[in-house]
Structure 1
Amino acid sequence: MKKPTDLPGEKISRTNPRERKYSDYIELLSDIKKNNEFSKDFPSLKIAVLRNFTVEPLLPVLEAEIYLAGFIPNIWVGDFDNIAFEAMSITSGLEEFEPDFILIFNWLDTISPALTTQFILKSKGEIDEEVVRVRQVYRDIEGSLRKSFSVPIAITNFNLPVDSTLGILDSQDSDYQFHTIQNLNLQILLDAKSFADVYILDIAKIFAAEGYLNAFDSRHWQMARAPFTQRAILTICNELGRLFKALRGKSKKCLVLDCDNTLWGGVIGEDGMGGIKLGTTFPGSCYKALQEEVLNLRERGVILALCSKNNESDVLEVLNNHPEMLIKEKHVSTWQINWDDKATNLRRLAKELNIGLDSFVFVDDNEFEINLIREQLPEVATIHLTGNTSGYRSLLSSFGYFDSLTFTAEDRRKNEMYGEAHIRNKLESESSSIEEYLENLGLEAALGIPTISDIARCSQLTQKTNQFNLTTCRYSEGQIAELISDKDSDVFYLRVKDKVADLGLVGVAVVRYRELEAQIEAFMMSCRAIGRGAETALLAYIANQSKSKRGSHSLSAKYLHTAKNESLVRNFYEENGFEKVSQQGEDTNWELDLRTEEISYPAWIKINES
């Protein structure tokens, strides 16, 4: 039997995306075809590609990135330069394909020679009219697709010119070519935001990162209308892989850092406070730069933890007293600083934070420690800090482990919330019983239908919640908005607060109605809020609303088994009075007769319905 670290994709997934080669992806696809076990449990991901240039060289890498994201790729490619027809025609193959995701590749030379090869020949008025026309082409495509499909859409913007006929003069006036296309990209972004779940695949940024001459293949463009070099193809497909993972709840939640030669240069136990390298000059500046990026991730809502073989007092002294240290004790949600093996310590961190090990990214400079985690905890993502220390900061962000398509108030407070959990744990340990603890906690639950300002957080919960999630359904912001406005469905939210703090919006449920039956399509709770009866409060609210507002006679629900939700929610419906009506494998169907049964709100929770 192969070890997890021998499976296809393990080697390339550990490699910095900047160092991967086109041949690595071809080799990966070959290995996958030889290993039937690798993707047997992966769900399918159907990607439709509309294009006005030759995309075939991208497809092997795109297919491999989809596998690396944890899905089986099913890619449909539209006819060459036929985007408008396929987007607007119900008779096109796109409708029959029923995609999960639509990708639109537009190349500006094809869609508008006036803005590229013929720019110098046009008057300012003609250029302005052409910009309006291109924007309208994009809006028509996006609008037509959104009428027919509720799935996410990614559409390219345009690379910026480097060989303008005007030469150095081109950058000196906002009406010239460079700034005209730059402003067009901004307008395309603003237009995309007016449609739900339309995202920009930022070709301009990718060309800037790679360099135009390293990204554009002029020979293949002229010969086959294939504009991208292999380097650009790898970066574009990696961006798409990151997008797929963010949309499907594959993002990580917790960054676990070693200390010696990771947060600072040297070994604190040997070099002391004055001997470690940390400051504004090289090499100490490299570690300070890494800390800046760590704090940026923390601000985005990434949980920060430490796992170090050290004396705890030595590390805390650096955090609290070193004048160049940016990361302070207050920034760290929890730590395991001792001489135990790091696999054991990561398990302890997971238990304390109440999140799965597959939510962790472990960062260490020591190859032995990295390999230990890869062998004993293959579900933990690892980043090995190796090579020049000046690249550590970019290495931390290059994998895109923490990518998200939302950024909410709850994200900014995430680390504070885990600190508040320590206070609740202390209160529980001081109580004589669980009943006394819950009574003294002063819990309040607010329940209702999300407003526009709640939609981003509701979508985020569906994409990130894996443990307390009965069906693991994922919804984009646009899909949440559609469900709220649909007369045959409801979306319900749950907010929780207690005397320690406000936990914010921590629960979401989707309910559909058919005649006299209400069906719970999705039910999920943030793990930091479970175990206090709030999940029962949300279920009781659903039952009450289904009966009193919708006139439903029954409430049905499903439990779809996954490795992540088994321990928390397998018996949730049974514990709340539902009757099991069928079972297939580990998946179960449940029903509650609303005419004879009801679910009571927990007595220790103050309920506020809206």
Structure 2
Amino acid sequence: MKIGICGNSDLKALAVAIDTIRSEYEIVTGDPQYWMHELQDIPDDFVNTDFLILALDWMQCIPAIYDYTWGDNFNDTLQAFSKFCRSLTDTINQLRQKSHCKILLFTPPTPASYPTGFITRLLDNSQLQLFTSIQNIANDIYKSVTDCYPVDIDLIEHSDFSALPHENNGHQTTPAVKIAGHCVRMIDQFIKYPLKCIILDLDNTLWGGVAGESELSLLILDPQGDGKPYFDFQKELLKLYKQGMLLAICSKNNTCDALEIIEAHPHMVLRPSMIAAFRINWDNKVLNILSIAKELNIGLDSIMFIDDNPSERGLVKEALPDVEVLELPKDPCGYVNTLRGSSRFWPIQLTKDDLKKNSYFSMDRLRKKSRDIKTTIADFLRKSGLSITVSQTGSESMSRVVQLINKTNQFNLTTKRFTQSELEMVCNEPHTYLLQMEMRDIFGDYGIIGVSLIRNSLIELFLLSCRVLGKDAEVAFLSVILHFMIDRGISEATGMYIPSEKNIQTAPFYSNCGFTLKESVGKSTIWCRNLSEPIIAIPDWFHVDCKLEYNNL
């Protein structure tokens, strides 16, 4: 990528700032003293540039517009600006005969203040009115010259540096690094395929709380209270939807629970009719994203993925590097500004040549991705520093364990509920063990995320927080439990599955882990496993810290 920088401002500072951001660019700069001559008789270095940044200091070009105050000749000042713009337009059109590069032209910055103060808007022929007319005249340059785009200095100033003082009214009041960043984002929009689709998580992304774990009314989503950040985030997404952006859902949930919220919650802004594709299941999100791309017939580089969970974001980055991943802050109050801060939504019109360079991913390529993705996921998990600690529940963690037992609906094989006093009474029975699993990785500490209640040879409770599904933590937990039972002299383990409206996805769990069906009691099933046979292995991406007083792992 070759970038030319021409104009009458500090070109070197801008070039250094761009090089810091994109060191792979080849950058050539002109001479600020001869910028107009360079446009009229373009040097050889500029002929083959892909982009030409025309970095004008408008204060030097037309000082009269910045010296103007109420009482000066309004029409003469405006005509002087118009004359300069006509000359600039003619010169750029001459340049077009030798170069077909895209031109990024600095806009004339609006003054930050006016000497007429608070009555400025009441005055005819004020400096405010002058600059309103000036911006309209400048806009005609971008509209009349092919492939000429505005580098909006006011936008940069207000969006990125609204708190900085204006030392003068030229573009140099905005630091070169911010102008450089803006130019690079503009260039990215031409050389990257424009975003077509945003794939969204649900829990703690579009609302606070977990679908299926809370009543509809208890979810955190409202226009004024604690749920306002989520409500405002949905409103911002709605703007992009109206702009033509496709929205898709990729969430680890029961479909009916999630759809009930999207359809029925009174403060949901995004409704089912606005969603182009749904993947609400317990599958790996990487595979779901590939599936959505196939369904919508779009390339991976035209997708943005938004999820509050840094582990899920990290996995998508690792496995699907072409997908844009929005780095949400921990505090949902920052979601809106983070979304607004992404320039990938800017709708820059592309030429036919640009479109040819950015063709869709073929279906064959997506199929190959699907074949290779399991290896990539495993590699990512091995690098994630996953560690689990399994121990017996003590008094200090009993309240959290009781909370997990009574709130977890989805990955919960029996959905039996206990009060704390009931659970403490059960734990005092002989040959009864209440086990808990904690998990952490390089992204943070998940705390207690798994609970199991063992009575003699029966696994009466087995549940896992849905926050950690997709890493096979449930397999690791069960493996530790079975080794624990062997250490206690148990020869056959028994597991119970009691179906509910929300735990259907756990129905094949025992079967998948080597258990065989022993009997059915109504809709419930009892499963057994001979512990003299090899135990299901703990996935090799987990480090296990077992505090159950045995060493058979």
Superposition TM-score, scaled by structure 2 size: 0.61
| Contact 1:264/1:276, CA 8 A, preserved across alignment | yes
Give the aligned partner of residue 37 of structure 2: 85
Sequence identity, in percent?
26
Partner of 1:52: helix, strand, or coil?
coil
Task: Indicate the residue corresponding to 2:74 in structure 1.
Answer: 124
The 3-state SS of whatever aligns with 1:82 is helix
Question: 1:199: which partner in 2?
Answer: 149
- CA deviations 1:293-352 (Å, max 9, x no partner) are 222222333221111111110111111122221211121111211122322322332333
1:254 and 2:197 are equivalent in the alignment: yes
Q: 263, 275, 278: which is aligned to 1:335? A: 278
Within a 5 Å distance, the mapping from 1:42-121 to structure 2 comes to 45-66=1-22, 72-90=24-42, 92-95=43-46, 97-117=47-67, 119=69
CA distance in structure 1 between the partners assigned to 2:146 and 2:347 by the alignment: 16
Return closer, same or farther for 1:74/1:61 CA change in 2, 3 Å cut-off: same
Aligned to 2:526: none
TM-fit CA distance, 1:213: 5.6
AA partner of residue 145 (structure 2)? F
Give the SS at the match of 2:120.
Answer: helix
Superposed counterparts of 1:564-575, under 5 Å:
none
Deviation at 1:266, TM superposition (A): 1.4
Distance 1:307 1:93, change over 3 A: same
Q: Relative to 1, partners in 2 of residues 1:58 and 1:276: Cα closer, same or farther, differing over 3 Å?
A: same
Equivalent residue, structure 1, for 2:91: 141
Instruction: Note if 1:467 corresponds to 2:361.
Output: yes
- Equivalent residue for 1:167? 117
Please give the secondary structure, in 2, of the residue aligned with 1:405: coil
Instruction: Write the distance in 2 (CA, Å) between the matches of 1:376 and 1:566.
Output: 13
Q: Is the 8 A contact 1:366 1:384 kept in 2?
A: no
Distance 1:385 1:79, change over 3 A: same
> Any unmatched runs of 5+ in structure 1?
1-44, 407-455, 469-526, 532-562, 568-610
Q: Deviations over 1:247-274 (max 9, x none)?
A: 2233333211000111111112112211
Could you say if the C-alpha distance between residues 317 and 295 of structure 1 is closer, same or farther in structure 2, counting changes exceeding 3 Å?
same
8 Å CA contact 1:308, 1:337 repeated in 2: yes
Q: After the TM superposition, which segments of 4 or more aligned residues of structure 1 sit over 6 Å from their partners?
A: 563-567
- Return the letter of the residue paired with 2:359: T
Cα distance in 1 for residues equivalent to 2:367 and 2:102: 26
Work out whether residues 298 and 304 of structure 1, in 8 Å CA contact, stay in contact via their aligned partners in 2: yes
Q: Where does residue 227 of structure 1 map in the other structure?
A: 172
Against the structure 1 CA distance between its residues 357 and 307, is the aligned structure 2 distance closer, same or farther, given a 3 Å change threshold?
A: same
The answer to whether the 8 A contact 2:192-2:358 is kept is yes
The residue that corresponds to 2:287 in the other structure is 344
Alignment match, 1:585: none
- Local SS of the residue matching 1:214: coil
CA contact (8 A) 1:174 1:180 kept: no
Which residue of 271, 282, 292 maps to 2:214?
271
After TM superposition, give the deviation of residue 155 of structure 1 in Å.
Answer: 0.5
Residues 312 and 200 (structure 1 numbering): CA distance in 2 closer, same or farther, change over 3 Å?
same
Cα gap change, 1:393 to 1:459, in 2 (>3 Å):
farther
Q: 1:94 to 1:371 in 2, by over 3 A?
A: closer
Q: Give the secondary-structure state (helix, strand or coil) at the position aligned to 1:343.
A: helix
Relative distance call for 1:121 and 1:99 in structure 2 (3 A) is farther
Displacement of 1:170 after TM fit? 3.5
Q: 1:326 aligns with which of 269, 287, 298?
A: 269
CA distance 1:330–1:47, change in 2 (3 Å) = same
Q: Is the Cα contact below 8 Å between 1:364 and 1:385 reproduced in 2? A: yes
Equivalent residue number for residue 476 of structure 2: none
Are 1:312 and 2:255 counterparts? yes
C-alpha change, 1:385 and 1:128, in structure 2 (3 Å) is: closer
- The change in CA–CA distance for 1:462 and 1:300 in structure 2 (over 3 A counts) is farther
Instruction: Name the aligned partner's letter for residue 465 of structure 1.
Output: S
Equivalent of 1:360, from 303, 312, 318? 303
CA distance in 2 between partners of 1:564 and 1:216 (Å): 51
Match of 2:92, as an amino acid? E
Measured after TM superposition, the shift of residue 186 of structure 1 is: 1.9
Contact kept, 8 Å, 1:265 with 1:277, in 2: the verdict is yes
Q: What secondary structure sits across from 2:183 in the alignment?
A: helix
**Residue aligning to 1:12:** none
Change (3 A) 1:217 1:289: same
- The aligned runs of 1:398-477 (5 Å cut-off) are 398-406=341-349, 458=352, 461-462=355-356, 464-467=358-361
Q: Based on CA coordinates, which of the two structures has the bigger radius of gyration?
A: 2
Structure-2 residue corresponding to 1:393: 336
Amino acid at match of 2:56: N
Distance across 1 between alignment mates of 2:359 and 2:244: 14
SS at structure 2 position matched to 1:327 = coil
Whether the 8 Å contact between 1:103 and 1:155 is mirrored in structure 2 is: yes
Deviates more, 1:322-331 or 1:397-406: 397-406
Instruction: Render the CA deviation track for 1:59-87: whole Å, top value 9, x for unaligned.
Output: 233124445xxxx3111111014221111
Alpha-carbon contact 1:254-1:361 (below 8 Å) kept: yes
* TM alignment of 1:508-519, pairs within 5 A: none
C-alpha distance in 2, partners of 1:309/1:108?
Answer: 54
| Counterpart contact for 2:305–2:325, Cα < 8 Å | yes
Q: CA RMSD in A?
A: 3.0
**Cα distance, 1:119–1:109 mapped onto 2, change above 3 Å:** farther
Instruction: Give 3-state SS (helix, strand or coil) of 1:160's partner.
Output: coil
TM-superposed CA distance for 1:132, in Å, is: 1.9
* Distance in 2, Cα, partners of 1:212 & 1:304: 31
Match of 1:382 among 325, 330, 341: 325
Residue matched to 1:289: 232
Question: Which of 301, 317, 334 is the matching residue for 2:244?
Answer: 301
Instruction: Give the 3 Å change call, closer, same or farther, for CA 55–172 of structure 1 in structure 2.
Output: farther
Tell me the distance in 1 between the aligned counterparts of 2:366 and 2:188.
17
> Given that residues 216 and 261 in structure 2 are in contact (C-alpha distance below 8 angstroms), is that contact kept between their aligned partners in structure 1?
yes
CA separation of 1:81 and 1:391: change in aligned 2, threshold 3 A: farther
Is residue 14–residue 176 contact of structure 2 (8 Å, CA) maintained in 1?
yes
SS of match in other structure, 1:235: helix
CA offsets per residue over residues 529-559 of structure 1, 9 Å max, x none? xx9xxxxxxxxxxxxxxxxxxxxxxxxxxxx
| Partner residue in 1 for 2:179 | 236
Count of aligned positions: 369
Q: Secondary structure at the match of 1:155?
A: strand
1:116 counterpart SS class: helix
Determine whether 1:185 maps to 2:79. Answer: no
The AA in structure 2 aligned to 1:467 is: F
How far 1:125 sits from its partner (Å)? Answer: 3.5
SS at match of 1:274: helix
Match for residue 390 of structure 2?
none
Q: Which amino acid aligns with 1:167?
A: G
Partner of 2:106: 156
Indicate if the aligned counterparts of 1:157 and 1:202 stay in contact, CA closer than 8 A.
Answer: yes
1:169 and 1:465 map into 2 onto residues whose CA distance is 54
Alignment partners' CA distance in 1, 2:158 and 2:342: 18
User: Cα distance, 1:216 vs. partner?
Assistant: 4.3
- How far did 1:564 drift? 9.0
Measure, in 2, the Cα distance between the counterparts of 1:258 and 1:350: 16
SS at match of 1:395: helix
